[in-house]
Amino acid sequence: MEKIIEINELRKRFKAYEHVDKGTLLAKLMRKSYYKKVLDGLTFSVNHGDIVALLGRNGSGKSTLIKTMTGILHPDSGSVRVFGLDPWENRISIASQIGVVLGAHGQLYWNLPAMDTFNFMKALYHIPEKDFRKRLRHLVSMLDLEKVYMRPVRTLSLGEQMKCNFVASVLHMPKVVFLDEPTIGVDLPSKTALRSMILTMRKEYGTTFIITTHLVEDITMAEKVILINKGKLIFDGSRDKLEHIFGNKRMIDLELKNSGRIKFGSYGKVVEHTGDFVKLEVNKEVLKSKRFIALLSGDNLVDYKVYEPGLNFVLSKLYKKTDKKR
């Protein structure tokens, strides 16, 4: 597979100042400065046509990483290559081949219709009239924007704004699209439409997508997952591999009568115990034990459910595991 993005030992730090809650103005002005590591030796690659979920808690370095890959920020050390080029030194040539949607920072003109931004993008990227009209019709139809894109942006819902931002970022048919929290705070129909559009573009045009997100629903689109924590890479692989990292674990929901007399900790970790409802995290071997079978056969059992832990469980475990190593 053709590598379209290559990151090698990438590092970036920012100057910060110690926090001072109280004190004189002079004390605040004299506070000490220090350098905070934001990206700490990241190495990974992205292939042409990949949909990649870039995951990490707030402050983990996701947005900084996006900005280095798009040429907005220059790394302190290491290298970034997009289409084999340094995005900082080749911003103009790379800009024509990428699209960027920043969830919290739209590119639409607040008091003008979204169509004005689309026309601006047409001129900026020198899109031929015929291609522009064809692409616009397709995108507007797919994202259900027929009654929206001619209205002033200030009158649009958050979901409608996000969809229009997406259109503005892909009209020039970029090879790579960076989506930073594209569905945060967006209504369900808009989320569904955006996810459908992403999958359609990858299938029809081979577009590569890098998506930063906190939402499990967004992760299910991706075949590849890159997980960073405090600037360090802690996972780089397929989504299936991520889900099976803790494959020996099972979750059990139990509803019982008189559950207070049972020592649930002997089966595994008690995740929740509210009244007669208990949620357990256990090794799957426990399910075959005589003690557990006896528990399920007892007269005080009302109902139970056994299931594999989801992605949220796996991500939480990975974060805690890497935090302990620091």
Q: Give the burial class of 48: count Cβ atoms within 10 A of its Cβ; 0-12 exposed, 13-18 middle, 19 or more buried.
A: middle
pLDDT of 196-255, one tens digit each?
999 999 999 999 999 988 777 778 888 899 999 888 998 999 888 887 776 678 888 988
C-beta separation of 271 from 301 below 8 A: no
pLDDT recorded at residue 200: 92
Going by pLDDT thresholds of 50, 70 and 90, the confidence category of residue 260 is low
Q: Are 87 and 70 in contact (CB under 8 A)?
A: yes
Concatenating the DSSP letter of every residue in 121-179 gives: HHHHTT--HHHHHHHHHHHHHHTT-TTTTTSBGGGS-HHHHHHHHHHHHHTT--SEEEE
pLDDT of residue 22: 67
The burial of 90, by beta-carbon neighbours within 10 Å (0-12 exposed, 13-18 middle, 19 or more buried), is given as: middle
Sign of CA dihedral 215, 109, 98, 189: positive
- Mean pLDDT (whole number) for 308-323: 74
Q: Residue 157 and residue 187: Cα distance in Å, rounded?
A: 9
Residue for token digits 């079978």? 293
pLDDT band at 25 (very low <50, low <70, confident <90, very high): low
Over its C-alpha atoms, the chain yields an Rg (Å, rounded) of: 24
Mean pLDDT of 279-289: 86
Distance CA(130)–CA(15), nearest Å, equals 49
SS3 label, residue 45: strand
In terms of Cα–Cα distance, which of 241, 166, 164, 160 is closest to 209? Answer: 166
Q: At what angle do helices 129-142 and 188-205 cross, to 10 degrees?
A: 140
- pLDDT at site 217: 73
3-state secondary structure 185-252: CCCHHHHHHHHHHHHHHHHHHCCEEEEECCCHHHHCCCCEEEEEECCEEEEEEEHHHHHCCCCCEEEE
pLDDT of residue 312: 73
Neighbours of 205 (CB within 10 A): 13
pLDDT higher than 60, residue 104? no
Q: What angle in degrees, to the nearest 10, is found between the helix axes of 158-170 and 114-124?
A: 20
* Residue 300 confidence (pLDDT): 79
- What value does the mean pLDDT of the chain take? 86
Question: Of 251, 181, 175, 219, whose CA–CA distance to 3 is shortest?
Answer: 175
Which residues does 84 contact at the CB level (< 8 Å), separation at least 6?
A: none
CA distance 137 to 139: 6
**What residues pair up with 22 in beta bridges, in sequence order?**
none
The two tokens of residue 83 are 């289409």
Alpha-carbon torsion (25, 29, 32, 35), positive or negative: positive
Question: What torsion do the CA atoms of 124, 129, 130, 132 make, to the nearest 10 degrees?
Answer: 40
